[in-house]
């Protein structure tokens, strides 16, 4: 049986990757940092391995005997106060994992990067041929994802890189789920003026396993979905849940001004801001992603947004995350 090592298994995308790998017949060793993560990993038939990405020796021991590494763990914070910790995870943690993979002769390294490696500094449609700008970004998340990806591309191990856009789907507890819960409680204060490509988490996981099986080494894949403005997205949620939502987007300048004020106050209070300047910049950007390479080579499917949203809302209802029923 093929043995793989997986990071981020208790996270949104990682949990779907774990299911896909188990369904493909793999034995999975999954990195875990908490007892509750251990339980979830065991429930999916995998072996939890308690360690941290900062511990090279422990990583070498954990990966020894594995044929592939799937690296889905990441720090997605948009608060500059967390920048050092974020860089330690997204850059140094990736470098440590690569070191361990190379040390024991792993045959494949599958890395989940992000479309953010291109940065909000770019405009227009992004495909794999467009040079990335994440290294120039003042947003540490973008910069750290870019630098982590560059470490993979330099590594002496067969690699494949994946760059998902806005990930949506069943299993989301922290990402778009937070916005959906605010719409459900009619507490969403405003709508950002940007737009995104909404990708199905299940299809992202399936595409990663497919790329590995096809041995598409040295390739990168943008994994996007249906494009929609955030105003359109929020209105679809409101309609599905029967909730009132703001009618128009908050102007980008107003969102940034609020982000800067919140950031300044956080330096006094020590509390994480509701909106940071980084979050304001990213949610004011109009992201456009071309997934044609993944569709062509991996049979990647872009789930229609209404279908993807319905599946997400149904799962959140089952989990009692949203409460009064949908229409």
Q: Does 139 map to a domain?
A: yes
CB 272 within 8 A of CB 266: yes
For 165-269, list the strands marked E by DSSP: 166-168, 195-200, 219-223, 226-229
38-52 burial by CB neighbour count: b if 16+ within 10 A, else e?
A: bebbeeeebebbebe
Q: Does 248 map to a domain?
A: no
Residue identified by tokens 């890189």 is: 161
Query: What secondary structure does DSSP assign to 253-287, as a single string?
Result: HHHHHHHHHHHHHHHHH-SPPSS-HHHHHHHTSB-
Sheet hosting strand 219-223, strand order edge to edge? 47-50, 27-32, 3-7, 68-71, 108-112, 159-164, 219-223
Summarised one tens digit per residue, pLDDT across range 173-202 is 988 999 999 999 999 999 999 999 999 999
Residue identified by tokens 């497919």 is: 210
Q: Does 172 map to a domain?
A: no
Q: Does 17 map to a domain?
A: yes
Q: Does 25 map to a domain?
A: yes
Summarised one tens digit per residue, pLDDT across range 210-253 is 999 999 999 999 999 999 999 999 999 999 999 999 999 999 99
Phi, then psi, of 195 in degrees rounded to 5: -150, 160
Cβ burial of 118 (10 Å; 0-12, 13-18, 19+) is: buried
CATH number at residue 118: 3.40.50.720
Summarised one tens digit per residue, pLDDT across range 28-57 is 999 998 888 898 899 999 999 999 999 999
Is residue 274 very low, low, confident or very high in pLDDT (cuts 50, 70, 90)? Answer: confident
Q: Does 21 map to a domain?
A: yes
Q: Does 236 map to a domain?
A: no
Residue-averaged pLDDT of the chain: 96
For the chain, list the strands marked E by DSSP: 3-7, 27-32, 47-50, 68-71, 108-112, 125-126, 159-164, 166-168, 195-200, 219-223, 226-229, 288-289
Structural domain for 41, as ranges: 3-167+199-225+289-302
Summarised one tens digit per residue, pLDDT across range 147-179 is 999 999 999 999 999 999 999 999 999 889 999
Cα–Cα distance for residue pair 309/11, rounded to 1 Å: 19
Please count the structural domains in the chain. 1
Q: Does 258 map to a domain?
A: no
Partners of 166 in the β-ladder: 198
């Amino acid at each position: 049986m093929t043995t793989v090592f997986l990071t981020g298994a208790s996270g949104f995308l990682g949990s779907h990757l774990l299911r896909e790998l188990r369904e493909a017949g793999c034995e999975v060793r999954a990195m875990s940092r908490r007892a509750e993560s251990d339980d979830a990993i065991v429930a999916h038939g995998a072996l939890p391995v308690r360690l941290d990405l900062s511990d090279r020796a422990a990583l070498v021991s954990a990966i020894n005997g594995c044929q592939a590494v799937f690296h889905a763990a990441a720090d997605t914070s948009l608060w500059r106060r967390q920048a050092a910790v974020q860089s330690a995870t997204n850059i140094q943690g990736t470098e440590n994992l690569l070191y361990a993979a190379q040390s024991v002769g792993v045959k494949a390294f599958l890395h989940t990067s992000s479309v953010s490696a291109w940065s909000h500094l770019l405009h227009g449609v992004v495909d794999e041929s467009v040079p990335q700008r994440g290294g120039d970004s003042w947003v540490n998340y973008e910069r750290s994802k870019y630098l982590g990806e560059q470490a993979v591309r330099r590594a002496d191990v067969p690699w494949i890189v994946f760059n998902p856009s806005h990930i949506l789907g069943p299993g989301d507890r922290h990402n778009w789920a937070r916005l959906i819960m605010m719409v459900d409680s009619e507490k969403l204060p405003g709508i950002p003026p940007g737009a995104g490509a909404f990708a199905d988490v299940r299809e992202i996981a399936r595409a990663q396993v497919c790329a590995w099986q096809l041995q598409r080494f040295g390739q990168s894949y943008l994994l996007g979905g249906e494009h929609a403005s955030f105003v359109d997205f929020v209105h679809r949620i409101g309609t599905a849940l029967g909730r009132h939502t703001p009618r128009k987007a908050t102007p980008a300048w107003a969102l940034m001004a609020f982000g800067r004020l919140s950031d300044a106050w956080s330096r006094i209070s020590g509390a994480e801001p509701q909106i940071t300047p980084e979050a304001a910049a990213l949610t004011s950007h109009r992201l456009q992603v071309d997934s044609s390479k993944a569709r062509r080579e991996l049979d990647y499917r872009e789930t229609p947004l209404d279908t993807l949203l319905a599946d997400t809302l149904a799962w959140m209802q089952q989990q009692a995350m949203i409460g009064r029923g949908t229409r």
